[in-house]
Structure 1
Amino acid sequence: MHSMARNLDVALLRTFVAVADHASMTAAGNVLHLTQSAVSQQIARLEDLSGALFIRERKTLRLTPNGERFLGKARRLIVLNDELWADMAQEPINGLVRLGAPYDLVGTWLPPILKTFSQAHPQVEIKLVCLASPELLTAVDNGALDLALVEEPVGKSHGKSHGECLAVDRLVWVGAKGGTAHLKTPLPVSMVAETCAFRPVVLQALGEVELPWRTMFESGSIDATHATIRADLAVTAWLASTVPTDLGILPFGERLPELPSFAINLYQTKGQIPRAVSELLQQIRHSVSSPLIADQAIA
């Protein structure tokens, strides 16, 4: 025979947590807008169910070992209760979010973020725009985008506006596994586009070591660049966390100059943003702080 389900009164748990936090029934009553007598009665009801929770010491209360164990679980149950109420009270989020990202982040960072967000908010329409980082900054400034992930040298700011740094990643040389393109002179370099944020840094690094180079392929397509590198026709520079598994990271050293790290910054349009945009903003922050993406960025 199944035992009868029993339900805890969350109001009793709130009172218990308030008393534990203030070590006083009177102070807890002031916070909860209850009389000291009402607080005392609620604690007595809870102790009838759970056993002694407090030790009375003069004018203060101290948790018993049982109370200390009970406190953490009570806090978690209150949080879950409040989250459920908030979910039930809110109307479904809808609307359009215009999100921009560089080509390399679209295939690596964004899929888990967009999948989680679309499952939680199926009525929100996401318009994804792929551009080079400088073009994304212009689009955010002009109000053409609500949010944009932008790759910038660490410490660099865009005019008077500052992006929110989500991660810092290494800019690395990338070539075909076992390839020889990096040994050729002049060095064949393939960039996704002339406006690529990495291009000025890469060319400056090559100039500082006086290594001759030539542009092998520029099309604005990350897939075309990938194919060029995989065929060992050229090398490129990408963030370490975005390098496909079928390509290899080339070491800095005798021939290839060291490249600086880049920040992945989050920019948002000026002024008040709609709720759908705010929710995606929070999802991006949460996802990027997760171990999966954080590990990618520092790998």
Structure 2
Amino acid sequence: MIFDTITLQCFIAVAETGSFTRAAERVGRTQSAISQQMTKLAALLGKPLFVKGRQFGLTPEGEIFLGYARQIFALHREALDRFTTPELEGEVRFGLPENFASVYLSEVLADFSRIHPRILLNIECDLTLNLFDRFKKKKFDLVLVKMNRPEDFPNGLDVWSEPLKWVGDPILINRKKPVPLVLSPAPCVYRASAIKALEKAGRPWRLVFSSPSYAGTVAAVKAGMGISVMPHTMIPPELQAVDASLLPKLADTHVSLLKHRADNPAINTLEEFVLKRLKH
């Protein structure tokens, strides 16, 4: 029995996103390709991996296999990175939004530290506008920020763009009442986008919960306190995007990776590592 890493990557993406569509977006493949990979994997194992029906989920066998898949894929990535990248040392000050650290990069940064033990990572999470301001003052070597002008910096890279979505229980939306909002405190790019869209459309709003924490925001929306704003790929399976007709359209979010220097091997290696993982 042989597992190829592409199939394992697709299975992990489906399990973590709870959707074949989102998994396809994460790994850069079509939804039909993902479906074919999962059918082949189930046939190879001789066990059903997903629950059939309206409620998506993993079978008990799927949950067990997910643990093995993560270990196999992580070891594969670690081996490749360890033997294709020379031993490096130094210190890198890396800043990123808390929601990106929670959703995308926690395992990535742990993998990097294990592969490059002589590179000291100093990581801080903050709101994008705070990160950007501190980056301009050279408090960070590398930052991942939600913005749209990486060209302002000679070493800036536009990582990806995706639509922002209103998220929450649509029953909370009543045209005769202010929209209850769950947002991060100012300065926050998502907060500014939400308020700007509502005010442009003449829709009243009120802030019912404010937290800089992604986990806190998800908990508040899940509890039915209000409506929030999230990038499409960051909406957790337990929450739902609001129908586009109920609230005004939001601007796309643009994610950029910025650095001051292009001649530091440790910084360049972390940049390449993060870019590779985010795009896969």
Is 1:285 matched up with 2:278? no
Alpha carbons 1:194, 1:218 under 8 Å: kept:
no
- Which of structures 1 and 2 has the bigger CA Rg? 1
Matches within 5 A, 1:115-264: 115-152=110-147, 156-157=148-149, 160-161=152-153, 163-176=156-169, 180-183=171-174, 185-253=177-245, 255-264=246-255
Q: 1:180 Cα shift?
A: 2.2
Cα distance in 2, alignment partners of residues 273 and 207 from structure 1: 45
In the TM superposition, 1:32-51 aligns within 5 A as none
Q: Residue 100 of structure 1: which of 95, 119, 125 is its match? A: 95
- 2:108 is aligned to 113
Inter-partner Cα distance in structure 2 for 1:285 and 1:118: 16
- CA distance in 1 between partners of 2:229 and 2:197 (Å): 11
Query: Counterpart amino acid of 2:162?
Result: D
CA distance in 1 between counterparts of 2:254 and 2:142 reads 16
Deviation of the 1:174 alpha carbon = 0.8
Unaligned runs of 5+ in 2: 1-81
**Displacement after TM superposition at 1:273 (Å):** 4.8
TM-fit CA distance, 1:123: 2.4
Cα gap change, 1:117 to 1:108, in 2 (>3 Å)? same
CA distance in 2, matches of 1:199, 1:245: 22
Taking only the aligned residue pairs, the percentage that are identical comes to 23
Find the aligned partners of 2:226 and 2:191 in 1 and give their Cα distance: 15
* Structure 2 CA distance for aligned equivalents of residues 103 and 173 of structure 1: 19
- Secondary structure of the corresponding residue to residue 252 of structure 1: coil
Amino acid at match of 2:114: Q
Task: Report the Cα distance in structure 2 between the residues aligned to 1:232 and 1:186, rounded to whole angstroms.
Answer: 15
Residue in 1 that maps onto 2:16: none
Deviates more, 1:229-238 or 1:117-126: 117-126
Distance between the aligned counterparts of 1:272 and 1:282, measured in 2?
A: 12
Match for residue 29 of structure 1? Answer: none
Give every structure 1 segment of 4 or more consecutive aligned residues whose post-TM-superposition deviation is greater than 6 Å.
none
Conservation of the 8 A alpha-carbon contact between 2:88 and 2:119? yes
Does the C-alpha gap of structure 1 residues 135 and 158 become closer, same or farther in structure 2, counting only changes over 3 Å? Answer: farther
Structure-2 change in CA distance of 1:139 and 1:236 (3 Å): same
For residues 123-148 of structure 1, the C-alpha deviation after alignment (integer angstroms, 9 at most, x for no partner) is 22222211111111111111111111
Instruction: Output the CA distance in 2 between the equivalents of 1:274 and 1:159.
Output: 20
Distance in 1 separating the partners of 2:261 and 2:162? 30
Q: 2:266 and 2:149 mapped to 1: Cα distance?
A: 27
- What TM-score, normalized to structure 1? 0.61
CA distance in 2, matches of 1:241, 1:275: 31
Q: In 2, Cα distance between the equivalents of 1:273 and 1:190? A: 42
Structure 1 CA distance for aligned equivalents of residues 276 and 186 of structure 2: 32
Provide closer, same or farther for how the CA distance between residues 157 and 257 of structure 1 changes in structure 2, counting only shifts above 3 A: same
CA contact (8 A) 2:209 2:225 kept: no
Between the aligned partners of 2:217 and 2:110, the Cα distance in structure 1 is 26
The Cα offsets for residues 91-123 of structure 1, whole Å up to 9 and x where unpaired, read as: x32222211111211111212421332232122
